[in-house]
Amino acid sequence: MEFNAEKVKEDLAQWIRDWFMRNGKDSVAVLGISGGKDSSVAAAICAYALGKDRVVGVLMPNGEQSDIDVARALVQHLDIKSYEINIKNAFEGIADELEAKVGALTPQARQNLSPRLRMSTVYAVSQMMNGRVVNTCNLSEDWVGYSTRYGDSVGDFSPLSHLTVQEVIALGRALGLPSLFVDKVPSDGLCGKTDEDNLGFTYAVLDKYIRTGVCENVETKALIDKKHRMNKFKLELMESFPYDGTIAAED
């Protein structure tokens, strides 16, 4: 079935309005703005649904950020309120404490610290403004676990989590976003590589597999299936001991 970006735009905008009526009719939508397509499209659809005065962007460089100008251009293009909060001091303070008390940070621990600090910052801004936090993940990233748990994987509502990367791009175009914001090569901004370099396959291949079940390359299919299986826990509630108070105590 062909993706109808215009219809999805209208349906999603109404879904956002309905969600806010139930969960904070006087609240604002607050989200981290990275300069990538997901946060750009998420901000644009919220502005379209709620009005630009009810969307707040939070830019969070860790020291210097090579593409911060794109994030600044996005909030200027949408004419939304924004704050730029540098997390460098917080990151270095926690990293120094960890290395002094626990040991050398592993590459993954260091890499995931930034998105977790950023989400803590977004939630702090949200609570200060009677806000609701926008999750900006898409279906393709969620499918293979390409997100940081308790970092960019969380939020109060998720407008894009059932849309693939190609569908997010189409939605961005339907919202009138310039190419700068929707066609930018996806990168986590943390390790210097593109998303597709890290994943080992393209989003086009992944999106086709998600929507049609077809992946011509056997090795790529196996890799996608493995990542999907291993990272599925990120989308589920954490498991808990199923005690209901009815088990009799032992003598």
Is 243 among the domain residues? Answer: no
The answer to whether the predicted template modeling score (pTM) of the entire model surpasses 0.75 is: yes
Q: Which domain holds residue 215?
A: 5-235
Q: Six-digit token pair at 87?
A: 């997390």
- Using an 8 Å Cβ cutoff, are 63 and 88 in contact? yes
Is 20 among the domain residues? Answer: yes
Predicted confidence band at 111 (pLDDT cuts at 50, 70, 90)? very high
* Cβ atoms within 10 Å, residue 11: 11
CA gap 224, 218 in Å, rounded: 10
Is 230 among the domain residues? Answer: yes
Is 246 among the domain residues? Answer: no
Nearest to 113 by CA among 135, 91, 142: 91
Is 250 among the domain residues? Answer: no
- Secondary structure element (H or E) that encloses residue 229, with its range: helix 218-231
CATH of the domain at 149: 3.40.50.620
CA dihedral 22, 11, 233, 228 (to 10 degrees): 180
% the chain with pLDDT above 90: 83
Is 129 among the domain residues? Answer: yes
Is 242 among the domain residues? Answer: no
Give how many domains the chain has, as a whole number. 1
CA gap 227, 91 in Å, rounded: 28
Q: What is the mean pLDDT of the chain?
A: 93
Q: What is the pLDDT of residues 33-87, one digit of tens each?
A: 999 999 999 999 999 999 999 999 999 999 999 889 999 999 999 999 999 999 9
Is 56 among the domain residues? Answer: yes
Question: Quick one: CA dihedral 9, 153, 65, 117, positive or negative?
Answer: positive
CA gap 29, 160 in Å, rounded: 14
